[in-house]
C-alpha cells in the first residue's frame, strides 16, 4: 500500500479517521496509531510500560471498536498514552454455522505524556464498516469527543 496508514477526515460533530492496512492486523495497528496521534505527539511517548491484551467480539467491526475503546480505557486508567501496537494474533473465523467470533491478541507499549492535545470519549459504531480492497482493508472510524 502506498498511501499513509491513517488520515484525519472531516466529520460534522466529532472526529474521524480513515485507516488502511494490507490486512486486518495492519488495519487495527493503524487505527490505534491514528487514534493516539490525535491525542498526543507519538514521538514524545517514552516506552515505559508494556501491556498484553486479549479481546473477543462477535465480528471484526465490533472487535475494532472494542480494541480502540479498551486502549482508551487503559490509557486513562494508567495515565499513559500508547505509541507501539503489535497485533500478535487476529482471527475473525466462524466458530459454528452462523456464529462468528473474532479474537485479537496484542502487545502495546506506552508511557506518560505531559499533555493531551485532545480528549476522546470513545470510538463509536457510527457507520463502522471494514471494507476489503484490492490493496488490503480500509475503515472509517468516528470518535465521540
SS (H, E, C) 35-80: HHHHHCCHHHCCCCEEEEEEEEECCHHHHHHHHHHHHHHHHHHHCC
Total-model pTM: 0.88
pLDDT at 118: 83
Kindly state the DSSP code that residue 100 receives in the 8-state scheme: E
pLDDT at res. 1: 46
Q: What CATH superfamily classification does 9-88+100-144 receive?
A: Archease domain (3.55.10.10)
Closest CA to 32 of 1, 13, 45, 134: 45
In whole angstroms, what is the distance from residue 108 CA to residue 29 CA?
10
pLDDT computed for residue 101 by the predictor: 85
Cell 488502511 appears where?
20
pLDDT in tens, the chain (145 residues): 446 677 777 766 688 999 999 999 999 999 999 999 999 999 999 999 999 999 999 999 999 999 999 999 999 999 999 999 999 999 987 565 566 689 999 999 999 998 888 899 999 999 899 999 999 999 999 999 8
Amino acid at each position: 500500500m502506498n498511501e499513509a496508514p491513517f488520515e484525519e477526515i472531516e466529520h460534522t460533530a466529532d472526529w474521524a479517521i480513515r485507516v488502511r492496512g494490507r490486512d486486518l492486523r495492519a488495519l487495527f495497528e493503524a487505527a490505534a496509531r491514528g487514534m493516539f496521534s490525535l491525542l498526543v505527539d507519538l514521538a514524545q511517548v517514552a516506552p515505559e510500560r508494556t501491556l498484553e491484551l486479549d479481546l473477543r467480539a462477535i465480528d471484526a467491526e465490533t472487535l475494532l471498536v472494542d480494541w480502540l475503546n479498551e486502549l482508551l480505557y487503559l490509557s486513562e486508567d494508567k495515565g499513559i498514552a500508547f505509541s507501539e501496537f503489535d497485533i500478535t494474533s487476529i482471527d475473525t473465523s466462524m466458530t459454528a454455522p452462523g456464529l462468528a467470533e473474532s479474537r485479537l491478541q496484542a502487545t502495546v507499549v506506552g508511557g506518560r505524556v505531559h499533555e493531551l492535545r485532545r480528549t476522546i470519549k470513545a470510538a463509536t459504531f457510527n457507520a463502522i464498516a471494514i471494507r476489503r480492497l484490492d490493496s488490503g482493508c480500509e475503515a472509517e472510524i468516528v470518535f465521540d469527543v
